Chain A
Amino acid sequence: MRGANARIAVLLAAAIAAAAGARAQSGPQTGQITVTGSVDRMCIMANPQVNLGASTNIGQASGGTVTIADLSDDQQMTTKSTDFYVTLSGMCNYSHLLTISSDRGGLWREPAGLATGGFANGVPYRATVDWGGSETVLLASAAGEGQVQQTLSVDQPVVGGVLLHFHIDQSATNAGSGVPLVAGNYDDTIRLTLGPQ
C-alpha cells in the first residue's frame, strides 16, 4: 500500500502540472508582431518640357533653354510680346515650398552695360507658376539687375506638373514703354525649386 500511495502522489502531481501549464490556456492564445517602415521626405522635378504649340514669338527650345525669335519689334525696335509655356513633372511627398527665382531680375542685355539715353537694355517679364492648384507670380521688373524670387507654400503633398507661363508685354522695357532696345544678346535664368518650407 505504501507503493500505491507513492504512485498516486506522483500521478496527482503530474495532473496538476499539466493543468497549470505555463501560461497555457484552453481559450485562444494570441501574439502580436509589429511591422514598421518609413518614407523619407522627397521632392522631385523632371526636365522642362516647352509647349511650343501654345507659344508666341519663340524661336526654338532645347532642354532648358528657350530662345525668343525676335525680342524687338522690327519697326520700332522695342519689345515684342512673347509667351511660352513650360511644364515640369514634379512631386513632393510632404508640405513644401516652391520657389521661383530670376537670376537677373529681368531679361537684361549681356553684358547689361550702360543704357544710352533713349534706349533700353532690360526687358521686364512675368512668370506665373501653377502648382498643386495654387499660383504664384514672379515679376522680374528689370528695375535693377539682381536676383528676385517668389515662393509658394504648399501644405500638402503634390504630384503633377509645375506649369510655368512666361510673358513679356508688348513694348515693355526698363526705360519705359516703347523705348527701343540696345542691340545685343539678352538673357536671364529662371530657377524653379521644390523643397522644405
Chain B
Amino acid sequence: MKLRLILLAGLALTAPALADGTGTITVSGSVSPACYFGSPVATTLNVGTLANQADGTLAPITPQSTTIPSSWCNTGSTIGIIASPLVAQSYIGSPPAGFTKAVNYTATAAGWATNSASFTTTGDTSGGGNGTTPGTQTTSDPVAQTITVTVSNFLAPSAGNRLVADPNYSSTITVTLAATH
C-alpha cells in the first residue's frame, strides 16, 4: 500500500502541465468613508407671526419640522447642528431699550444617532453673541436614515422684550454629516 502511493506521486510530478490546472487571481478594492446629505423636504420653515398682538412680546410659537431623507454615511459618523437667531432683516441698528430684533430658539436634528443633536441660539437683542460650537452626536456604525430637523422653544433674549416690526425675520440652520473613520 505504501509503495503504490509513492508511485502515484511520482507520476504526478512528471505529468505535463497541460493537465487540470488551477489559477488564483486576487481581486481587491476599497471603499472610502463617505457621507451623503439628502435634500431637505422643506428648505424653509416659516413659523409665522412672532409677536403677541396684545402687547408685542413674543407669542407662543408652534414647533416646526422638516425631514432630510436618503442621507447616509458608510462608516461611523458625527452629525452636527448649528443655527443663528431669528433676526429682523430690515431693521437697521440696535433696537431701543425694551425691544429686540432677535429671537432665540432650539434646533434639533433627530433620527441619526441615538440622541438628537441640538443647538440653542443665544443671541442678544441685536442677534449678536450667538454660540459658535455646534451641537453634535456621534454614531460608530454606518447609518442610512431620514434626519428630522425641528425648531422649538422660541425665546426673546430677555423676558418681556417687545419685538420690532419687520416682515422678514430670518435664521439659518446648518446640519453637517462627517465620517469619523
State the A residues within 8 Å of B (CB).
1, 4, 7-8, 11-12, 14-15, 18-19, 21-42, 44, 91, 93-94, 132, 156-160
Contact = CB atoms under 8 A, between A and B. Distances in A.
A16 to B, nearest CB: 9
B34 A25 contact: yes
A94 B162 CA distance: 11
B42 A35 contact: no
A35 B35 CA distance: 25
A25 B35 CA distance: 6
B172 A34 contact: yes
Given A42-B165, A157-B99, A157-B164, 17 more contacts: A15-B31, A21-B36, A26-B33, A26-B35, A31-B40, A33-B175, A34-B44, A35-B83, A35-B86, A36-B171, A39-B88, A39-B169, A40-B49, A40-B53, A91-B55, A93-B164, A159-B99
Contacts of A1: 23
Given A24-B34, A30-B175, A38 B56 contact: no
Interface of B: 23, 25, 27, 29-40, 42-51, 53-56, 61, 64, 66, 68, 71-72, 74, 83, 86, 88, 95-96, 98-99, 103, 105, 107, 149, 151, 162-179
B160 to A, nearest CB: 9
Nearest to B64: A35
Name, among A21, A25, A39, the residue most crowded by chain B CB atoms within 10 Å (CB to CB): A39
19 contacts: A4-B23, A18-B29, A18-B31, A31-B68, A32-B173, A34-B43, A34-B172, A35-B105, A36-B171, A37-B46, A37-B169, A38-B168, A39-B88, A39-B166, A40-B53, A41-B165, A91-B55, A93-B164, A94-B165
B48 A159 contact: no
Contact of B56 (A28, A91, A160): A91
Contacts of A29: 35-37, 71, 176-178
A158 B170 contact: no
Contacts of B37: 29-31
Contacts of A19: 31-32
A157 B56 CA distance: 11
Contact of A15 (B29, B98, B105, B175): B29
A21 B55 CA distance: 54
Nearest to A132: B96
A33 B68 CA distance: 10
Nearest to A93: B165
**Which 10 pairs, one residue from A and one from B, show the smallest C-beta to C-beta distance?**
A29-B37, A24-B36, A28-B178, A94-B165, A15-B29, A41-B165, A24-B34, A159-B98, A35-B171, A37-B169
B32 A31 contact: no
B174 to A, nearest CB: 5
B36 A35 contact: no
Contacts of A28: 35, 176-178
A41 B91 CA distance: 12
Contacts of B64: 35
A31 B173 CA distance: 8
A35 B34 contact: no
B134 to A, nearest CB: 10
B34 A93 contact: no
Given A4-B25, A24-B34, A159 B170 contact: no
B54 to A, nearest CB: 8
A40 B86 CA distance: 15
A93 B175 contact: no
